Chain A
Amino acid sequence: MNEEEFLRQLSLREPPKTLDGRVGEMLESSRPRILVRRIALWQCAAACVLCGLLAFMAGVMLPRRGPQKTPVSEVRWVLQVQPQPFNVYDWTQYPKSMAPDSVLQAANTGLDKTEI
């Protein structure tokens, strides 16, 4: 006797009726979900690369902001002090070497040299 025939002639255990009921009920009651397009991983990766390139190109092509402007008062900018009236500025607190040239010029022209 052929071995396959020997195996096939044996009757298999029947599936229980409860299984028929469960599957039948499942197929009767459930509605297929709305088809959601599945996006493959490589498509996600390609989209990420494309978006990155577009963002880079947009960054290159957009007008850049210019360099930061120099503050009105270089002294205030260097020493980080609040604006004060020029007359009451206390030059004695700071060494002369720290003062920018523009301040020194202003001082030479308009201020009393003893205050510097």
Chain B
Amino acid sequence: MPHGRLNAQLAEFYTAHRQELFSYALLLAGSPVPAEDAVAEAFANVLQTGRTPSDLRPYLFRCVRNAAFEALRREGRERKALASYAVLYSETCEPGARDTAAEWLACLADHEREWVVLKVYGDLTFREIGEVCGVPQGTVASSYWRCLQKLRALLNPPIQQENQL
């Protein structure tokens, strides 16, 4: 049995959001092992504080973010060095769709990619994303919709381009 209310709350949160946290860490860290470390470190940080943050979800995502960046810094790697964003997706995905999504994510700027993953896979609100990344929510929202337009262009190329090809 978990000791204390905080541990029980964290255990419940982990069960409900383990996938989102891991996917976010995987996006930032680039490979499963440091991503796993980042998630574990985030929970360790909350346990160390000994208190429940007022808004647990953005707080934990922010902890994952910090831990992933710290791991990258320790390893001397940069975010741009990430190989393929297909690492986010399961092997069971249809390869065409997975490659399309990875290609689109690779086209985005670092911060746009991060916001999209937090929104789509983390299911965070724009306000929460702003809290996690330290940016105004209006900036996140407008950028997010621009990113989706880029994806739309990728999924449904204009007829003119098709004719040219």
Contact = CB atoms under 8 A, between A and B. Distances in A.
Interface in B79-113: 87-93, 97-98, 101
B101 A23 contact: no
Contacts of B44: 26
A113 interface: no
Contacts of A27: 2, 7, 10-11, 14, 43, 47
B21 to A, nearest CB: 8
Given A13-B32, A26-B43, A30-B7, A1 B155 contact: yes
A103 to B, nearest CB: 76
Nearest to A36: B50
A19 B18 contact: yes
Contacts, number: 105
B97 A6 contact: yes
Interface string B126-165: 0000000000000000000000100110010000000000
B3 A32 contact: yes
B56 interface: no
Contact of A15 (B18, B87, B148): B18
A12 B7 contact: no
A27 B46 CA distance: 11
Contacts of A8: 120-121
A12 B22 CA distance: 10
A43 interface: no
Given A7-B101, A32-B7, A23 B148 contact: no
Interface of B: 1-4, 6-7, 10-11, 14, 18-19, 21-23, 26, 32, 36, 39-40, 43-44, 47-51, 87-93, 97-98, 101, 116, 120-121, 148, 151-152, 155
Given A6-B97, A27-B43, 11 more contacts: A3-B151, A4-B148, A7-B121, A10-B93, A12-B19, A13-B26, A13-B91, A30-B7, A31-B4, A32-B4, A36-B50
Interface of A: 1, 3-4, 6-16, 18-20, 22-24, 26-28, 30-36
